[in-house]
Amino acid sequence: MSPALETVLAKAGLQVSPDEFLDLVTDAARRLAPPHPEPATYFTPDQQSALRDVGLDLSPAGPGDSKPRTRTVVAHAVLRDSALTVNEAARQLQVDTSRIRHRLGVGRLVGWKDRGSWRLPAWQFAGNGVLPGLEAVLAAIPSDQPALVVAAFMTKLQEDLLVDGKPATPRDWLLAGGDPCRVADLASVLGTPA
């Protein structure tokens, strides 16, 4: 396998071999993206708007134009592979696994079920804790928003959130001590047509 791919995976902090990563990408491509997708047809108009707001291209792929499809498949694969299991989250937060499941149940952590097990996106963790202000932000996110949309929002530069005079991601804004209410206000309109 390519040493370059191993290096990229290691730098990204993805704990998976290149072969496993490529298997995940292949599996995600097969499940998520048919050969000639019409991406917009899979979503309601409100969901289409939310996905476009976070930078996903829903236009039909032209002949030989696989980049939007590839980017989406890779984003799904990275989100899944970088997500923590319940056991990993419990170790990181130094709590029992039942506390993690409870937090998931009451919306204090976000996750999804994958093959019968919870997966928790890594963006919501910081050191041995959760992202400052996470509870307020999660409470504001409409419940119909998929994990990929939320992850894209939390990691996309927002012109309304400035850190040292420069646009910041909601995650970086919160880590810098920014007011979680500002992020919650932006998150509350995910899925709402602009």
> For the whole prediction, is pTM greater than 0.85?
no
Cα angle: 28, vertex 145, 9; to 5 degrees: 40
Q: How far apart are CA 6 and CA 21, in angstroms?
A: 10
Q: What would the pLDDT profile of 66-125 be if each residue is shown by its tens digit?
A: 566 677 777 777 778 889 999 999 999 999 999 999 999 999 999 988 889 999 999 999
The domain limits of the chain are: 3-82, 86-187
Q: Could you give the percent of the chain with pLDDT greater than 90? A: 45
Q: Which residues contact 89 (CB under 8 A, 6 or more apart)?
A: 100, 109, 120, 125
Residue of 166, 135, 26 lying closest to 18 (CA atoms) = 26
